[in-house]
Amino acid sequence: MPEGPEVECTRRYLHPLIGKTVKKIQLTELSQKYPKYAGKQQDFYWFDGQQLIDIERSGKFLIWRFDGEKVILNHLGMSGKWILLKKNNQSLTSHAKALIYFEKQPHAIFDDIRNFGQFKIFESYKIVLKYDPIRKMGIDGLAKPFPMDEFLLRFNKPNYASKEIGAVLVDQKLVAGMGNIYKAESLALAKINPTRLVKTLTKKERKELGLAISKTLWKAVDCNGSTFSTFQIPTGQEGSAQHWHKVYGKHGEACQDCGTEIIRIVQNGRSTFFCSECQK
């Protein structure tokens, strides 16, 4: 699933679209099979002739901004990706849900195999900022410098104290953009066992975790994210961050640092991977 780094890479590679004028935004025939898109085509006609002025990232969301008031909130879900179409006759991807045709190429396709993504109009930027998943978001794990004070503050929330750190760390209200992959890798880098209760973590460990989060997320951005099955940046290339993962998806393999077998457990219904020797 695309996490903050994959969404950030997507945003960066969509940059050539900024300043371009929209000819038409089209929802595909396939998308009309799903209630969230069905019957919505006419609402997208408003964007004809609009100039795209920015694509912002907020956690795992992209906010498409135009010179008029309306915005499009876009989430890549489990399998979403954007592809830039360089030629008019280039064929569409088989899971295309939406297309943005600009007056000049490249055009852009939103492809989403598993259909958990979001491509939704909001009446204004102000209104989208009030949308709960955006409004309640925690620190941006990719913020530079890493907002350590606010991270420590949010971490202190009483409702986290008796929960396991591996379960808490994917809460978007703590670190926006964090998901299962980089949670496991950040905890491995900070040498913290994911089953530890938050209240048992010392201030030093919390700080180390904050630094590990920042380092891990940025290293992933530098590698164009992680690709396990579907993720691609808009140029069609796959990410390569999976090549340096220490623990994610490596259960049954030997830890690179100590040789102990990496184990997989389930926390809150989601897999967590770690080395019980290196992570205490």
Q: Annotated active-site positions, please?
A: 2-3, 60, 270
State the maximum Cα–Cα separation within the chain, in Å, rounded to a whole number: 59
Q: Which amino acid is at 130?
A: K
Quick one: 17 or 212, whose CB is closer to Zn ion? 212
Question: Would you call 16 helix, strand, or coil by DSSP?
Answer: helix
Among 189, 198, 217, 255, binds Zn ion (CB under 5 A): 255
Q: Which of 211, 180, 226, 214 is nearest to 10 (CA)?
A: 226
**Is omega for the bond preceding 106 within 30 degrees of 0, making it cis?**
yes
Residue nearest to Zn ion (CB): 255
- Distance in Å, CB of 255 to Zn ion, minimum: 3
Among 153, 156, 277, 280, binds Zn ion (CB under 5 A): 277
The one segment of 40-48, 83-91, 187-195, 271-279 that binds Zn ion by CB under 5 A: 271-279
Which backbone phi and psi does 249 adopt, to 5 degrees? Answer: 75, 10
Q: Does 190 bind Zn ion (CB under 5 A)?
A: no
Quick one: 62 or 278, whose CB is closer to Zn ion? 278
- Distance in Å, CB of 188 to Zn ion, minimum: 8
Quick one: 7 or 189, whose CB is closer to Zn ion? 189
Q: Does 233 bind Zn ion (CB under 5 A)?
A: no
* C-beta of residue 63 within 8 angstroms of C-beta of residue 74: yes
Q: Does 197 bind Zn ion (CB under 5 A)?
A: no
Quick one: 153 or 258, whose CB is closer to Zn ion? 258
Q: Does 247 bind Zn ion (CB under 5 A)?
A: no
Among 162, 257, 261, 268, binds Zn ion (CB under 5 A): 257
CA dist 224 to 57, 153, 200, Å?
15, 31, 35
Among 150, 258, 268, 280, binds Zn ion (CB under 5 A): 258
With tokens 């925690």, the residue in question is 138
Give the x-and-dash track for 115-134 against Zn ion (CB under 5 A). --------------------
Which backbone phi and psi does 77 adopt, to 5 degrees? Answer: 60, -135
Pairing label, strands 175-176, 139-140 = parallel
The structure tokens listed for 43 are: 């609402």
Quick one: 163 or 191, whose CB is closer to Zn ion? 191
How many whole angstroms separate alpha carbon 231 and alpha carbon 243? 15
For residue 62, the surrounding DSSP H or E stretch is: strand 61-66
Helix ranges, the chain (H): 4-13, 125-129, 132-135, 148-155, 165-168, 180-189, 203-222
- Distance in Å, CB of 196 to Zn ion, minimum: 16
- Distance in Å, CB of 273 to Zn ion, minimum: 12
Q: Does 261 bind Zn ion (CB under 5 A)?
A: no
Residues 37-96 that bind Zn ion (CB under 5 A): none
Write out the residues near Zn ion by the rule CB under 5 A: 255, 257-258, 260, 275, 277-278
